[in-house]
Structure 1
């Protein structure tokens, strides 16, 4: 749908079954800290080696994003979970009034606080992550299809999310062949998209302003990495009033390959003079998450039109429902950055 906008991770141990008392928990954690991270030795075996009671070593940590900035860790039997705020219906849409749900993180994912302590910069996607332009683009696609008297379903619109123009052209040619002109379709879609923007329908996504401001106050480096063409990206950012919020803006014009290839994220990290594994990527699309993961960047997914699949959970540090929750998870890291900046 961007046609309209023309490093190894650390092993996270699963905790063994059973109950857990304070002494066993502390001993188990000491044992975990002593293990080389690359070994991935099962926690159950570590517990046995430490001669801990076999039935008393079950524990998991739940991060409550609605709590303090540090997050409250509490014991809870079962798997390691991360609260992500609003629940989703079976169709994948966000239920704004629903209670929090816990999204199980894969055992291969590192704990969120541990990774965030090492983060030195943040790299944002644009459409669907910072701006509601994916929803506007979907409407524009349907309006263009009606104008050109062709049928475009939601599955095709979803397949185009996070895909650069050349990829969208291939999708259209695969679906329609020579029965329609991709360029004519793109032109009509872009016209309808701009009409919506001119009518004032483009808005920042929930939490976008607050997160950008928190990063600015902490003097935390930030970049934009979008599959959109530079002219369109700059237009959207200027209209949204956030064009000056970034230390670097990387677009499809700057790289040979778009998402899901890692080029955009690698180029953004280079522009920030920060190693990719020290950057936190924020994405809403499947191809965006795949691109950040391929670049070796820890990535948080903030779903918009696409709900998180198992692949997305496997590749993401966390899946959260809005950027407010990203800011809360980063609160400790930003506070340390602000203190460090104040001393310089």
Structure 2
């Protein structure tokens, strides 16, 4: 697998943030007299905000008070991250060390809004780690459209085919394929989505494996 730069997804790949989002959604739903199971939450992994909103309304019904739901879930999430922060995924710091040792350019490309990205990175202690960040605010269409990855490749100064995407969700893998980027799928929800696994160039368990893979592949390409 040939590549000259790395593009990271954020939620579920760099940050173990989706667990917190899902817990906040479930708490908000419970406060409103509803319930959300883990399977439904997992199905929204990597989805853009507009799709999440549509799916929630379809799930609960057209009379569901989505504004109250978001207010309650945001309150629950803020309380959670202010107390505990946001965990960084296992192997991230090792992977970053390998990438820096190899002098590979890298970028963060996410469906989240820039304000939310900056807040999450701050709660995770990663402010300043990514000098190149592409968000939902920077493109016309979110993942699974290829826009964020094409924009990231352009910012990095490489063709998309030379940018290795690291993704944890089927939505993100589909976007990488649409952008003609090679992709490693590190599923955050198990069992791994079979279609995404077939689409990706490689499926790995965690970022430790990604670090080892990148070291070997990059050195072989020299």
The alignment's TM-score, normalised by the length of structure 1, stands at 0.61
- Larger displacement relative to structure 2 (277-286 or 243-252): 243-252
What residue in structure 1 maps to residue 175 of structure 2? 291
How far did residue 306 of structure 1 move?
Answer: 4.1
Contact 1:119/1:280 (8 A) holds in 2:
yes
* Residue 160 of structure 2 corresponds to residue 276 of structure 1: yes
What residue in structure 2 maps to residue 241 of structure 1? 125
What residue in structure 2 maps to residue 316 of structure 1? 200
How far did residue 334 of structure 1 move?
Answer: 5.0
Deviations 1:244-266 (A, max 9, x none): 22241011111111111111111
Gaps of 5+ in 1: 1-114
Deviations 1:219-248 (A, max 9, x none): 211011111111010111122232322241
Provide closer, same or farther for how the CA distance between residues 235 and 322 of structure 1 changes in structure 2, counting only shifts above 3 A. same
Contact 1:123/1:265 (8 A) holds in 2:
yes
What residue in structure 2 maps to residue 170 of structure 1? 54
Contact 2:185/2:204 (8 A) holds in 1:
yes
How far did residue 283 of structure 1 move?
Answer: 0.6
Give the counterpart of 1:135 among 19, 23, 47: 19
Deviations 1:291-341 (A, max 9, x none): 11111111111111243232122101111110000110111355589xx9x
Deviations 1:16-72 (A, max 9, x none): xxxxxxxxxxxxxxxxxxxxxxxxxxxxxxxxxxxxxxxxxxxxxxxxxxxxxxxxx
For 1:201 and 1:146, locate their aligned partners in 2 and report how far apart those are by CA, in whole Å.
23
What residue in structure 1 maps to residue 106 of structure 2? 222
With CA pairs under 8 Å and 6+ residues apart, which has the higher RCO, 1 or 2? Answer: 2
For 2:211 and 2:175, locate their aligned partners in 1 and report how far apart those are by CA, in whole Å.
22
What residue in structure 2 maps to residue 153 of structure 1? 37
Deviations 1:130-163 (A, max 9, x none): 1110111111111111112222222321222111
What residue in structure 1 maps to residue 3 of structure 2? 119
Provide closer, same or farther for how the CA distance between residues 306 and 252 of structure 1 changes in structure 2, counting only shifts above 3 A. farther
- Count of residues in correspondence between the two structures: 222
SS of the residue 2:184 aligns to: strand
For 1:336 and 1:187, locate their aligned partners in 2 and report how far apart those are by CA, in whole Å.
51
SS of the residue 1:131 aligns to: coil
The answer to which structure has the higher helix fraction is 2
The alignment's TM-score, normalised by the length of structure 2, stands at 0.93
What residue in structure 2 maps to residue 186 of structure 1? 70
For 1:222 and 1:336, locate their aligned partners in 2 and report how far apart those are by CA, in whole Å.
19
SS of the residue 2:27 aligns to: helix
Give the counterpart of 1:208 among 82, 86, 92: 92
Contact 2:187/2:205 (8 A) holds in 1:
yes
For 1:261 and 1:180, locate their aligned partners in 2 and report how far apart those are by CA, in whole Å.
28
RMSD of Structure 2 on Structure 1 (CA): 1.8
SS of the residue 2:61 aligns to: helix
For 2:39 and 2:123, locate their aligned partners in 1 and report how far apart those are by CA, in whole Å.
29
Contact 2:3/2:218 (8 A) holds in 1:
no
The higher radius of gyration belongs to: 1
Contact 1:284/1:306 (8 A) holds in 2:
no
